């Protein structure tokens, strides 16, 4: 198994040590020509990916071996660059080990820098910066996965030294000179020196521990541990987050780790360098997912809402084809993404203002009308021939969740009549139970439900939409979505207006409810209904309940609202994409169906089959459940379509 986490970190995790300071020599190595090579090979499909993987192994493996033989370790990779830390017994030993490594790596690249493939020749070179000083390290524990970082003067200074390098050059600063016999030439910038020659130092020949510590699994998700793919070209969304360093940034980063997991992003790394603190999150790798753009943008919006003065950040997102896979070697590597769009995301991040989310055309043009953007600028970026337009994400648009279809309804008349017949109990003032509309994705389940709605008189029936959310499956999410619509809540309103809209609606329902027990419960649990949609009142019932009481009363409050509404006129609950239902909403369904046989409501749920091909099931055993299966069109219906 590849070693994806520094043994230094795994050992500290085992010892329950989560932060500290090192005195260390640090080298920063940047490989030039890698992005251009990646973009060229990307045009040659699977074979191009295989060739790129071979080159990565050929280039990185000997360099990493030398680092570990000399007592150092790789702290972080940054695409085609990486940082190595040497904290040997004494300052002299650390510096001698690091400069010896630098000399040997430079020798390797002069021999293998030219890579010849059947798709062309690629000339790779390196730039190396080297410095000595303090290095801070920390381990951040998340709910599902943990992360770590290294930061400090030595890391920043080694990166600064690299900026003054030409092709295949080494630059150092004064922190190294007095402890290493190296010949240098002073360059124009004060305090920086171009290394001309390095004398040999004794190698330490450290024993390389190739075992995988059990704590490895706290840092690396199973999708990477179990992956058999070494490298591939795939479409992803790289998200770069720059944040301000302050005393409370640790708690902010931990929240980002957890938030990225909720939205299905892979928390790739935290990196500190000359650009400050940066977080990289990948959407679409290592696991492909549906609604990739929605996941990434909703994550960015949620992060912005969560952020405050304790975690001030700026965010940039792009999308496109990258090389996604392992770089480095078996001894020390990382799963990451390489390619032009990754670089563009990093550069857009640096153009953004703190508090902003910026995207390129590829993101903006793929969102339809679901998000609102403002044009920012059209600018030139390093590595791109054409100017690139970028935009600020303003907000998620408020969209009418009721689907509207303009095309003719074809080939489902029999199924539609069957569905209409399931409503008969409503006209007899009885509960109609659950009706599943089964079928694979894209076969027309939602279209079928929408056609039913179009045939009904909505003045005599209440239609409540509860859409399940594939991305988050957040607690009570379909119920929250329904209640926000029911109570006329909007992000554009201030809290006073949203509270007024809530009060007007609930008061109207209470006044119309004749059943005394229902009326009392609506009055009693009014603050609980408000809390579900984030409306709170001081000294209310909700504030006096414990966690268990809050959970139970939420279920009872919504159940009583449905019961009260069904006494006014029959209720149809459209539970869209029921296969994505969260645990708490499913519990609500079970409770809703208890002792409600004489209340005229019905649940209609469009559901995909499970991964094993079987029908999805809410598991409500106490109630009659019915199914309508949508199969593929007949030849005649297909011709009509």
What is the percentage of the chain residues whose pLDDT exceeds 90?
55
What average pLDDT does the segment 387-394 reach? Answer: 94
The 10s digit of each residue's pLDDT in 292-332 is 999 999 999 999 888 766 788 999 999 999 999 988 888 89
Q: Output the pLDDT for position 182.
A: 81
Chain mean pLDDT for the chain: 88
The 10s digit of each residue's pLDDT in 49-101 is 899 989 988 889 999 999 998 899 999 998 889 999 999 778 988 998 999 89
Q: Output the pLDDT for position 624.
A: 77
User: For 181-224, what is the HEC assignment?
Assistant: CEEEEECCCCCEEEEEEECCCCCCCCCCCCCCCHHHHHCCCHHH
Identity of the highest mean pLDDT range in 197-201, 446-450, 479-483: 479-483
The 10s digit of each residue's pLDDT in 94-124 is 998 999 899 899 988 888 889 999 999 999 9
Q: Which residue has the higher pLDDT, 189 or 71?
A: 71
Q: Output the pLDDT for position 521.
A: 96
Q: Which residue has the higher pLDDT, 150 or 291?
A: 150
Q: Output the pLDDT for position 200.
A: 58
List Cβ neighbours of 209 (8 Å cut-off, separation of 6 or more): 7
Q: Output the pLDDT for position 620.
A: 81
Q: How confident is the model at residue 409 (pLDDT cuts 50, 70, 90)?
A: low
Is 465:576 a contact under the CB 8 Å cutoff? Answer: yes
The 10s digit of each residue's pLDDT in 453-478 is 988 998 999 999 999 987 777 889 99
What average pLDDT does the segment 499-524 reach? Answer: 96
Q: How many residues does the chain have?
A: 641
Q: Output the pLDDT for position 404.
A: 52
CB environment 293-332: b (16+ within 10 A), e (fewer): bbbbbbbbbbbbeebeeebebbbbbbbbbbbbbbbbbebb
Q: How confident is the model at residue 24 (pLDDT cuts 50, 70, 90)?
A: very high
Q: How far apart are CA 343 and CA 76, in angstroms?
A: 17
The 10s digit of each residue's pLDDT in 259-284 is 998 898 999 999 987 778 899 999 99
**Confidence check: pLDDT of 412 > 80:** no
The 10s digit of each residue's pLDDT in 141-180 is 877 888 999 999 999 999 999 999 999 999 999 898 878 7
Is 344:384 a contact under the CB 8 Å cutoff? Answer: yes
Q: Output the pLDDT for position 640.
A: 59
What average pLDDT does the segment 357-366 reach? Answer: 94
The 10s digit of each residue's pLDDT in 417-458 is 888 999 999 999 999 999 998 887 667 788 888 889 988 998
Q: How confident is the model at residue 518 (pLDDT cuts 50, 70, 90)?
A: very high
Q: How confident is the model at residue 202 (pLDDT cuts 50, 70, 90)?
A: very low
Using CB atoms within 10 Å of the CB of residue 374, give its burial: 0 to 12 exposed, 13 to 18 middle, 19+ buried.
exposed
Among residues 89, 95, 98, the alpha carbon closest in space to that of 69 is found at 98
Q: How confident is the model at residue 621 (pLDDT cuts 50, 70, 90)?
A: low
Ranking 67-76, 283-292, 539-548 by mean pLDDT, the lowest is 283-292
Q: Output the pLDDT for position 224.
A: 79
Among residues 592, 597, 580, 579, the alpha carbon closest in space to that of 620 is found at 592
Cα radius of gyration (the chain): 30
Q: How confident is the model at residue 571 (pLDDT cuts 50, 70, 90)?
A: very high
List Cβ neighbours of 632 (8 Å cut-off, separation of 6 or more): 443
Q: How far is CA 540 from the centre of its chain?
A: 36
**Confidence check: pLDDT of 633 > 80:** no
What average pLDDT does the segment 396-403 reach? Answer: 63
Q: How far apart are CA 272 and CA 260, in angstroms?
A: 19
What average pLDDT does the segment 215-224 reach? Answer: 76
What average pLDDT does the segment 508-518 reach? Answer: 95
CA distances to 66, 213, 306 from 3, rounded to whole Å, are: 16, 9, 34
Q: Output the pLDDT for position 244.
A: 87
User: For 293-362, what is the HEC assignment?
Assistant: HHHHHHHHHHHHHHCCCCCCEEEEECCEEEEEEEEECCCCEEEEEECHHHHHHHHHHHHCCCCCEEEEHH
What is the percentage of the chain residues whose pLDDT exceeds 70?
91
3-class secondary-structure state, position 600 = coil
Q: Output the pLDDT for position 265.
A: 92
Q: How confident is the model at residue 226 (pLDDT cuts 50, 70, 90)?
A: low
What average pLDDT does the segment 532-552 reach? Answer: 94
Q: Output the pLDDT for position 609.
A: 85
């Amino acid at each position: 198994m590849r070693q994806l986490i520094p043994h230094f970190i795994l050992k500290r995790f085992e010892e329950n040590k989560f932060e500290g300071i090192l005195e260390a020599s640090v080298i920063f190595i940047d490989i030039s020509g890698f992005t251009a090579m990646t973009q060229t090979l990307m045009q040659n499909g699977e074979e191009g990916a295989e060739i790129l993987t071979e080159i990565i192994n050929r280039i990185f493996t000997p360099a990493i071996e030398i680092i570990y033989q000399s007592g150092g370790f790789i702290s972080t990779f940054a695409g085609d660059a990486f940082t190595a830390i040497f904290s040997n017994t004494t300052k002299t030993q650390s510096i001698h080990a690091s400069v010896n490594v630098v000399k040997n790596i430079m020798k390797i690249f002069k021999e293998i820098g030219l890579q010849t493939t059947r798709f062309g020749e690629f000339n790779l070179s390196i730039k190396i910066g080297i410095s000595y000083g303090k290095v801070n390290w920390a381990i951040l524990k998340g709910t599902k996965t943990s992360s770590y970082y290294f930061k400090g003067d030595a890391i920043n200074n080694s990166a600064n030294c690299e900026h003054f390098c030409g092709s295949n050059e080494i630059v150092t600063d004064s922190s190294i000179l007095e402890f290493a016999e190296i010949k240098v030439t002073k360059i124009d910038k004060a305090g920086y020196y171009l290394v001309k020659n390095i004398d040999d130092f004794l190698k330490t020949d450290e024993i390389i521990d190739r075992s995988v510590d059990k704590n490895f699994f706290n840092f690396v998700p199973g999708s990477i541990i179990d992956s058999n793919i070494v490298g591939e070209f795939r479409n992803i969304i790289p998200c770069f987050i720059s944040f301000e360093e302050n005393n409370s940034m640790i708690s902010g980063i931990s929240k980002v780790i957890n938030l990225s997991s909720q939205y299905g992003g892979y928390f790739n790394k935290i990196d500190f360098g000359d650009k400050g603190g940066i977080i990289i999150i990948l959407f679409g790798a290592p696991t492909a997912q549906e609604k990739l753009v929605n996941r990434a943008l909703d994550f960015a919006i949620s992060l912005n809402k969560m952020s405050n003065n304790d975690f001030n950040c700026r965010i940039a997102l792009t999308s496109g084809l990258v090389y996604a896979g392992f770089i480095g070697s078996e001894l020390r590597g990382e799963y990451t993404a390489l390619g032009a769009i990754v670089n563009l995301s990093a550069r857009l991040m640096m153009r953004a203002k703190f508090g902003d989310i910026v995207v390129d055309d590829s993101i903006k043009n793929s969102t339809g009308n679901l998000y609102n953007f403002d044009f920012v600028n059209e600018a030139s970026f390093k590595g791109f021939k054409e100017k690139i337009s970028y935009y600020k994400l303003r907000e998620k648009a408020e969209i009418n969740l009721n689907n509207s279809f303009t095309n003719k309804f074809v080939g489902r008349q029999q199924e539609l009549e069957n569905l209409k017949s399931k409503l008969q109990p409503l006209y007899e003032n009885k509960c109609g139970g659950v009706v599943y509309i089964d079928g694979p994705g894209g076969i027309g389940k939602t279209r079928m439900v929408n056609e039913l709605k179009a045939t009904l008189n909505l003045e005599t029936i209440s239609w409540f939409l509860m859409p399940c959310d594939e991305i988050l499956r957040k607690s009570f999410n379909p119920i929250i979505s329904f209640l926000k619509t029911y109570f006329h809540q909007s992000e554009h309103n201030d809290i006073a207006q949203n509270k007024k809209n809530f009060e007007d609606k609930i008061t109207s329902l209470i006044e119309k409810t004749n059943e005394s027990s229902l009326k009392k419960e609506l009055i009693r649990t009014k603050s609980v209904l408000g809390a579900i949609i984030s409306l709170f009142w001081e000294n209310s019932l909700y504030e006096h309940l414990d966690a268990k009481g809050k959970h139970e009363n939420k279920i009872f409050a919504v159940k009583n609202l449905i019961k009260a509404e069904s006494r006014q006129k029959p209720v149809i609950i459209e539970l869209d994409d029921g296969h994505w239902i969260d645990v708490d909403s499913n519990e609500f369904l079970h409770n809703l169906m208890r002792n409600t046989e004489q209340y005229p409501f019905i649940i209609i749920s469009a559901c995909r089959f499970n991964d094993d091909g079987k029908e999805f099931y809410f598991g409500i055993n106490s109630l009659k459940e019915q199914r309508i299966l949508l199969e593929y069109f007949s030849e005649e219906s297909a011709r009509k379509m």
